[in-house]
Amino acid sequence: MKNQNGSVIIIVLWTAVLLTVLVTAMASKVRLSAQTAIHNQDTSISWATIMGSFNKAEMELMLERMTRPIGEQLEETEEGEFRNPAYRFNGQALDLYYPLKENITVRIFDHGGKINLNRIPRRNMQLLIEKRLGGQEADPEEVQDLLTAWTDWTDLNDLEGLKALRWSTTNLWSNPTLPETIQS
């Protein structure tokens, strides 16, 4: 009988160890499944928040393209010009008409419909340059130099242009593609 008591205790202890390992493995799987469910829920909430913000930004663009109300006063710049509200979409953080969560920032880059400076008439470009240089007090030579630099992309008329500098510093006689001696 003494021999049986020892084997029963060993069997009970091994059963307890196996059950402990089994319960630990099952608990870790349940914990992993719970973490996966929480991460999926967080991802779904984040996705819904981002898509809601995206839709609100689209709505903001649509509202800006609508005609302005009749009595609305437009903002003026320091120079007295009316500020176009559509030009606020230059990448700065926006306060949208529809509220967002406080941890979401919307920035819109919309360059469609802005002035193409390549197609601006020469006289208008001259007026812009004069305005930037101080208005009527601007140096006429500096205005003309900047206007020439703007309109002459190849620097053909400007003696200080890049081509003039390149040709003045290049030694044509040391070109490695030309043979040193002519053989007949």
Give the whole-angstrom CA distance, residue 150 versus residue 117.
10
**Taking each helix axis from N to C terminus, what angle separates 140-151 and 122-132, rounded to the nearest 10 degrees?**
130
pLDDT digits (tens, 9 = 90+) for 67-125: 888 888 888 877 777 777 777 777 888 888 888 888 888 888 877 656 677 778 888 88
Domain end (from 85, 109, 133) = 109
Q: Tell me, yes or no, whether 34 lies in a domain.
A: yes
Residue 95: its pLDDT value, please? 85
Domain end (from 58, 81, 109) = 109
Q: Tell me, yes or no, whether 134 lies in a domain.
A: yes
Specify whether 72 is located in the same domain as 100.
Answer: yes
pLDDT digits (tens, 9 = 90+) for 117-171: 777 888 888 888 888 888 888 888 888 888 887 776 655 555 555 555 555 665 5
Residue 153: its pLDDT value, please? 63
Specify whether 89 is located in the same domain as 14.
Answer: yes
Specify whether 75 is located in the same domain as 16.
Answer: yes
Nearest one of 107, 109, 127, 108 to 117, comparing CA atoms: 127
Nearest one of 142, 122, 119 to 132, comparing CA atoms: 142
Specify whether 97 is located in the same domain as 155.
Answer: no
Q: Tell me, yes or no, whether 177 lies in a domain.
A: no
Residue 15: its pLDDT value, please? 95
pTM of the model: 0.48
Neighbours of 13 (CB within 10 A): 10
Q: How far is CA 90 from CA 79, 103, 106, 112, 175, in A?
A: 20, 20, 11, 11, 49
Count Cβ neighbours within 10 Å for each residue of 26-65 and write b for 16 or more, e otherwise.
eeeeeeeeeeeeeeeeeeeeeeeeeeebeebbeebeeebe
Q: Are 97 and 59 in contact (CB under 8 A)?
A: yes
Residue 184: its pLDDT value, please? 42
Number of folded domains in the chain? 2
Mean pLDDT of the chain: 80
Q: Which amino acid appears at position 52 of this protein?
A: G
Specify whether 104 is located in the same domain as 130.
Answer: no
Specify whether 15 is located in the same domain as 90.
Answer: yes
